[in-house]
Amino acid sequence: MFIRPYLTEAEVVLHLFAPDRRNTMMRSSILSRNRSYIGLLVANTILGSAMPMMIILGGLAGLMLAPSTALATLPASLSTLAGLFAAAPFSLLMGRLGRKAGFFAGGACATAGALMGVWALLTGSFVLLCLAHLALGAALACYQFFRFAAAETVSAAWQPVAISLILTSGLIAAFVGPQVFIWAKDALAPVPLAGAYAALAGLSVIGLLPLLLIRLPKPPQTAPQTLKDRLTSLSVLKHRPVRLAVGLGAVSQGIMVFMMVPTPLAMIGCGFSEAVAGDVIRWHVVAMFAPSFFTGFLIKRFGAERIAFTGITLLIVASLVAMSGLTAGHFYGSLVVLGVGWNFGFIGATALLAQAVSEQDKAAVQGANETAIALVSTLCAFAAGALVAGVGWAALAGVSAVLLALAFVVFYRETREVQR
């Protein structure tokens, strides 16, 4: 008998969500998990389209309403800061009331923020615009928990694949968001950009609809945690496997932001047009999310640690490519490798964290993880602009390479200690 040495794509998906179909009850459970995962994927794709729209709107609307050009980027910066303070509360809310309640709260923040953005443009209020982006940034912090929710809908063996595939929605969002902005920006003419904020509110509501059709695992019914209980849960961060996962995720995200944010400024300073700089960023975003179609399967095959360390290695390569020249090819090559390195490092770290944390400690530890990532990202975003303006792109890339090399050594030693 001839046995095929491979599975078709359809069989892989079935195996992901239905590894055992021995009886009717189990088939019902399989269908429920399958529907839940698909619902999360659709919701994350729609809601995630807000991110590229926010990047575009933050700068343009800020430039329109800011009392001085020095404050034009303040709304976008506040969005990043909001994630720093919102991640832990959202995680605790989900630990108490469930993922669905948390995502609805995040969608409500996004809708309110988008409507405040409309009103800010209609009234010319820069303060209201800053408040709008605080709410929108908090919503984006909430959406980061979709990858953890996806892992909870499948068996432990398939969690890396579930996490990886949920991030493929970012690839779609990277194209959908800017297109929605183009279609809607003049919808409330003569006030420019107000229509884009209104469309953002609409996306936030539509993105919640798939969540109404699914069931997600409920959090364990336990007594409300006291401050002492939460501190006990956070003590898990001292464990090497958890510490390693948090560190890998924070470094992957931080270095990606450190090099991505100043890229357009560096390219324009080198004489490239805004169109070329925008194209480099577009392919960087594609490289960030496109590997998600197979990263999870690589983790199943080689392990989360190896893939995460491969990601750190690729980030070092991206830094070295950036140091080696200032041609368009160097910028394209560096940012594409940077995107793939982030994908491997970030997904690998997320899979490690999902494996290392118990159910009772999950809410506190995941919140701390997202807060750490937001903190490192915020520091890197502000530092990158100062460095590229002060010492240049090549020097910034050199700093990235040194930091990554040090991180690699530290994380490798942590891994060796875990294995003993």
- Burial, 294: exposed, middle or buried (Cβ in 10 Å; 0-12, 13-18, 19+)? middle
Distance CA 347, CA 252 (A): 10
Report which of 353, 345, 347 is spatially closest to residue 369, judged by C-alpha positions.
353
Q: What is the pLDDT of residue 225?
A: 53
Per-residue pLDDT of the chain (420 residues; tens, 9 = 90+): 333 333 333 344 444 444 444 444 444 444 455 788 889 999 999 998 888 788 778 777 887 898 886 677 678 778 878 887 888 889 889 888 889 999 999 999 999 999 999 999 999 999 999 999 999 999 998 998 898 888 888 877 788 888 888 878 878 887 888 788 888 888 998 998 899 999 999 999 999 999 998 888 777 655 455 545 555 545 556 677 788 888 889 999 989 988 887 787 788 788 887 677 767 877 888 888 888 888 888 988 888 889 999 999 999 999 999 999 889 899 999 999 999 999 999 989 888 887 777 667 777 777 778 888 888 887 887 787 778 777 888 999 999 999 999 988 888 887 776 666
- Burial, 331: exposed, middle or buried (Cβ in 10 Å; 0-12, 13-18, 19+)? buried
Helix axes of 126-143 and 74-97: crossing angle, nearest 10 degrees: 40
Instruction: Report which DSSP code applies to 235.
Output: G
Name the 3-class secondary structure at 165: helix
Cβ(313)–Cβ(341) below 8 Å: yes
Q: What is the pLDDT of residue 33?
A: 56
Report which of 282, 279, 351 is spatially closest to residue 311, judged by C-alpha positions.
351
| H or E element at residue 51 | helix 50-65
